[in-house]
Amino acid sequence: MSEFIVHSVPGSPFGRSVLAMLEEKGAPYRLAPVAPGTSRSPAHLARHPFGRVPVLEHNGFSLYETQAILRYLDRVLPAPALTPADPKRAARMDQVMNINDWYLFHGVGNVIIFHRVIGPRLMGLASDEAAIAAAMPKARTVFGELARLLDQQPYFAGGSHVAGGPPGCAGRWLLHPDAGMGRPGRAALKSRRMAGTDGGAVKHEGHHVAASVRAGEGGVRERGKEIQGCAFAGCGDSAMP
């Protein structure tokens, strides 16, 4: 099996989703770090014309956009299958992954986690309580809908984590105990299952994610302030510019 190359800023939640997928598949891969602040360099723009991460390279084939990458990996690495064969379960998986990308991350995760965890702990900044308060109504709406969709199922797409969906959950940062979400219901407690899978994504979730960032995984700690310009302000392909 040929090696997969993932171009990503270390610590990017969207890049981590791709790495988690490759771990789940047991595939050989190499992380090609993109230094924060260089995603709009000519070299990277040649890979991604919009200056985002991640970008996947495989056998001379280049692909950007996280969800496109995850679906490609599930097709070229069919075992274990992480996309449900049933059309309704697959549609639910797609729906919840889009809720995660467009409603949980945007305006919730990239606000609350930055001001509650990343800014204070890594950059020495005071929490912007007004920004957090402004994000809370949207957060409650998102978690309320996720709780409704999950209901009494073990996974959003039903069944088990195998054939349950690519681990595309950037919003799992909200599980950090300092995020200010408290215990907003069953969806928050099981948001690791947002895309219908536990498996290889577990080690990247919640306080484990924040702990790895604090410990300097991938050199993130050494770059200090540039973290804000990375995972929470534009390096993810679905992040705000």
Contacts of 127 (CB under 8 A, 6+ apart): 115, 116, 119, 120
Q: What is the CATH number of domain 4-76?
A: 3.40.30.10
- What are the sequence ranges of the domains in the chain? 4-76, 87-227
How far apart CA 241 and CA 46 sit, in angstroms, is 18
Given the candidates 1.20.1050, 1.20.1550, 1.10.760, 1.10.1760, the CATH classification of the domain at 87-227 is: 1.20.1050
Comparing 95 with 188, which gets the higher pLDDT?
Answer: 95
Question: What residues form DSSP beta bridges with 31?
Answer: 6
As a whole number, mean pLDDT of residues 34-52 equals 91
Residue type for 23, please?
E
Instruction: For residue 5, list its beta bridge partners.
Output: 30, 57
> Residue 225: pLDDT above 50?
no
Give percent above pLDDT 70 in the chain: 65
Residue of 192 and 143 predicted with greater confidence: 143
Residue 10's pLDDT is what? 87
Angle at 199 between CA 194 and CA 204, to 5 degrees: 70
User: CA–CA separation, 116 vs 107, rounded Å?
Assistant: 14
Tokens 């056998």 belong to residue? 59
pLDDT at 209 over 80: no
